[in-house]
Chain A
Amino acid sequence: MENLVLDNKTKKSRIPAWLDLTQSGTGLVLGLFMWVHMLLISSILLGKGSFNFVANMMELSFLSPTGEGYPIAVVLAVSGVFTLFILHAGLGMRKFPSSYKQYKAVRSQMKLLKHEDTNLWFYQALTGFIMFFAGSVHLYTMLTHPDIDPYISAARVVTSNMWPLYLILLIAVEYHGAIGLYRLCMKWGWFTGKDAKKSRAKLKKLKKTLTAFFLVLGILSLIVFILIGIKNKDKNQEISTVIIPTTIEQTIS
């Protein structure tokens, strides 16, 4: 209660420091996770077998005597990511414009200066806002239906009409993550080298390259899932309406 009367300047809480560190820490983990996640998903481009191999590894099938794996491993991983996601979203919200007046000030600044990093921040905030909804739907789906398999994923994309959501989520994630990781480097002074300006230019170029790379990878993967989904549309109905069995062979055969 002493904070009610104490001069704020004479005694500052350590909480803002922890909030800042946590926001950056969760952002770093989530950003790197998303790149790895995208690489794993893109294994579908090498064929259904490759995707199955990755999926089985994620389900820790190498630990299982029958080779079936443990979908609970996916549930636990998704729960961890979901927790970080909610934490990061809550902390990120603190930086959003909290009133029309603040929103107007940012938009006016963007119009006045046409400054790239200011614009990037706005798009980062916007894509973050989109992810509140799109990301939550995806994470909840994976939490309740943790089975990963090319046919199940394709059925989800086509028959369950998830492709528009995944497309929006892909664009939002790749922009938000890459801008966020670039900004983290700037914020904490990572990779500054001897010439901070040159390092920044290099990091920005890397950021743009990685965004383009992961967007192409994501869109190609989504197209492959759509094609698989269309090809197996009759069986998809079955997959999406029944409780998904543990192995896809049982459903497809």
Chain B
Amino acid sequence: MSNEEKRTLTFEILRYNPQIKGDTPKMKKYEVVEAPGMTVFIVLNEIREEHDPSLQFDFVCRAGICGSCGMIINGEPKLACRTLTDTYPKGIITLLPLPVFELIGDLSVNTGKVMRQMSERVESWIHDKDAENVDLTRIEERMEPEVAEEIYELERCVECGLCLAACATKRMRDDFLGAVGFMRLARYAIDPRDKRSGKEFYDIIGDDDGVFGCMTLLGCEDYCPKDLPHQTQIAYLRRKMALGK
């Protein structure tokens, strides 16, 4: 790409710091020259380095693994590090923080707090009343490779929170568990080491804040950056809970 061909991208970013008294949310424009293979994450770094060091956004891995850099990019919940600027031919990109979560500042939100609450709510650990009596000298019971693969598939969730931000039900009803919680619970429901009964799972998600509150708007399915099978997992949990299986 020669210099003549390089596009100048316009970024419109919501700026607001709730820590500063009297600050009000406003959209601010930044212009950045596009580079080959440029991601929104790279742009944000450039803006912070060259235009405005006060810009707040989250990141850790820069490779779509940690799930920290979720934001609304041109009306879609996405990970900034996995969004290439050349997917926007007009060169105008609007960035907003994820709704649903507590705003730390600008594009930075507190997903950790919600994820911790979710983990505690679904009791995200193996439940086995006989765990303390396990004979550690014996080889652990074998798991069928298909089951292990199925569990692994659901464990790929990086807790980025895009599914919650994409969910109108969650926006309407704050107590709604949301897809990330259902995915986590489905992971334990298929794990043979978790001895919880169907009734015990029902006690966690068997109400309108749980699986029966899901209105199947499928934002979770459409915007999950890991392409997790939210629709089929929620349908599986709904059948399991409703029919008492």
Contact = CB atoms under 8 A, between A and B. Distances in A.
A202 interface: no
B45 interface: no
Interface string B211-245: 01011111100100000010110011011011010
Nearest to B237: A189
A186 B168 contact: no
Given A17-B244, A114-B75, A188-B239, A109 B206 contact: no
Contact of A118 (B76, B168, B241): B168
A20 B213 CA distance: 9
Interface stretch (A7-15, A37-45, A69-77, A126-134): A7-15
Given A20-B242, A21-B242, A113-B75, A186 B231 contact: yes
Contact of B218 (A16, A105, A117): A117
A108 B216 contact: no
A109 B207 CA distance: 24
**Which of A11, A17, A196 counts the most B-chain CB atoms under 10 A from its CB?**
A17
Contacts of A14: 206, 244
A112 B216 contact: no
Interface stretch (A26-34, A50-58, A94-102, A139-147): A94-102
B168 A187 contact: no
B72 A112 contact: yes
Contacts of A109: 99, 168, 171
Nearest to B205: A12
Nearest to B168: A109
Nearest to A183: B216
Given A11-B203, A21-B242, A186-B216, A110 B231 contact: no
Contacts of B172: 97, 102, 105-106
Interface residues of A, number: 36
Contacts of A188: 235, 238-239
Given A20-B238, A105-B168, A187-B238, A200 B206 contact: no
B66 interface: no
A16 B207 contact: yes
Nearest to A19: B212
A12 B217 contact: no
A160 interface: no
B27 to A, nearest CB: 14
Interface string B162-180: 0000101001110000000
Nearest to B199: A12
B185 to A, nearest CB: 13
Contacts of B212: 16-17, 19-20
B13 interface: no
A106 B210 CA distance: 19
Given A17-B241, A97-B172, A121-B215, A113 B77 contact: yes
Interface of A: 8-14, 16-17, 19-21, 94-95, 97, 102, 105-106, 108-110, 112-115, 117-118, 121, 183, 186-189, 192, 196, 200
State the 10 A-B residue pairs at the shortest beta-carbon distance, nearest first: A189-B235, A109-B168, A20-B212, A105-B171, A187-B216, A102-B172, A117-B218, A12-B206, A17-B242, A16-B212
22 contacts: A8-B207, A11-B203, A16-B212, A17-B244, A19-B212, A20-B242, A21-B242, A108-B99, A109-B171, A113-B75, A115-B219, A115-B222, A117-B218, A117-B222, A118-B219, A187-B238, A188-B239, A189-B235, A189-B236, A189-B239, A192-B231, A196-B229
